[in-house]
Amino acid sequence: MRTQAQIATRPLDDVMEGLHATPKHLPYRLLYDARGAELFEKITFVEDYYLTRAELALLEAQLPAIAALVGPNARVIEPGSGAGRKTRMLLAALESPATYVPIDVAEDQLTENATSLRVEFPQLEVLPVLGDYTRPLSIPAPTKPTGRTLVFFPGSTIGNFEPEEARAFLTKLAHLAGPDAMILLGADGNANREELLRAYDDREGVTAAFDLNVLAHVNTTHAASFDLAKFEHRAVWNEQRSRIEMHLVSRAAQTVTVAGEPISFDLDEPIITEHCYKHAPATLEMILRSSGWRVTNTFVDPAHCILMWPATAEKRPTRGWST
Ligand code: AVI
């Protein structure tokens, strides 16, 4: 009989590979299990996590301009749709949006969100896709004609990718979305160490709970023996790479079993669980351009350096995802 750990083949490989590496790391997507998705949603309301608040305000201010660029009957595709607060604002501002395709790994949230959007926007066709948007996916075709396709990718999630991965992902989105499509990309360009450390290690402890939950997740899915009390969440500003990192630091020299294998930790040894690049605006704009997107505008919140870019796709053949 196969064990639970053997069944989870791909994540197990990622986990073991990461835990044997130096420094140790875990794939960041593991943070977003059902509990993690809930905790992340809670983070977006935390006072110290300025990103969501600032982006919501920027989006609200720029929505009329965005709606004018997108035009009527749009098909909106949103990788990593989450709870959909920004989506609702966008859909309400667009002129008769036709189709909405949310893509997410959190099944309960995806289903609940789709159900409530169908009630809130009765004319909108909602076509949820359950899956990891960094992997090849099939996007359902709309059943009625639509106007422009808009890929909505706010929330600084692009910062969670390595720069080369970000380029590959944005290129894939350009292929998927087609020649006349648009993207609305939101990212945080803040490089203020103090603000970032506070945002990623908030005083309410929500980010710490979110980070530690990854160990509980690995305990269940990979038959591991992490004692959460023996690890501590830490936010670290990596100035050289211009990124904020989340570390889980071992409070003791200890050995943990993961899928039957012993993994040793020194006192103070970290596991890197997530990083978010805080690219300078010009850097991210260059990544967008080299991924097949023509930047049309840049909207900025100068107080926190939150940016949104509407950009238009250039024509390329489809690769990676299909419709
Ligand atoms: C989803 N992502 C953009 C968040 C970020 O800011 O990197 C995840 C997060 N991690 C800790 N707090 C928020």
pLDDT in tens, the chain (323 residues): 333 343 344 555 899 999 999 999 999 989 989 899 999 999 999 999 999 999 999 999 999 999 999 999 999 999 999 888 999 999 999 999 999 999 998 888 899 999 999 999 999 999 999 998 988 888 999 999 999 999 999 999 999 999 999 999 999 999 989 889 999 999 999 999 999 999 999 999 999 999 999 999 999 999 999 999 999 999 999 999 999 999 999 999 999 999 999 999 999 999 999 999 999 999 999 999 999 999 989 999 978 799 999 999 986 544 556 65
Residue 217's contacts (CB-CB under 8 Å, 6 or more residues apart) are: 30, 31, 33, 35, 36
Rounded to 10 deg, the angle between the 50-70 and 85-93 helix axes is 20
Rounded to 10 deg, the angle between the 281-289 and 163-177 helix axes is 50
97 lines ligand 1 (CB under 6 A): no
CA-nearest residue for atom 1, ligand 1, is 157
Q: Are strands 306-313 and 293-295 parallel, antiparallel or unpaired?
A: antiparallel
User: Are 140 and 100 contacting, i.e. CB atoms less than 8 angstroms apart?
Assistant: no
For residue 146, how far is its CA from the centre of ligand 1 (angstroms)? Answer: 32
207 lines ligand 1 (CB under 6 A): yes
CA-nearest residue for atom 12, ligand 1, is 200
200 lines ligand 1 (CB under 6 A): yes
Residue 260's contacts (CB-CB under 8 Å, 6 or more residues apart) are: 5, 223
User: Could you give the CA distance from residue 159 to residue 275 in angstroms, rounded to a whole number?
Assistant: 8
Of 159, 224, 199, 232, which is closest to residue 49 (Cα–Cα)?
Answer: 199
User: Are 284 and 189 contacting, i.e. CB atoms less than 8 angstroms apart?
Assistant: yes
The H-assigned helical ranges of 79-159 are: 85-93, 107-120
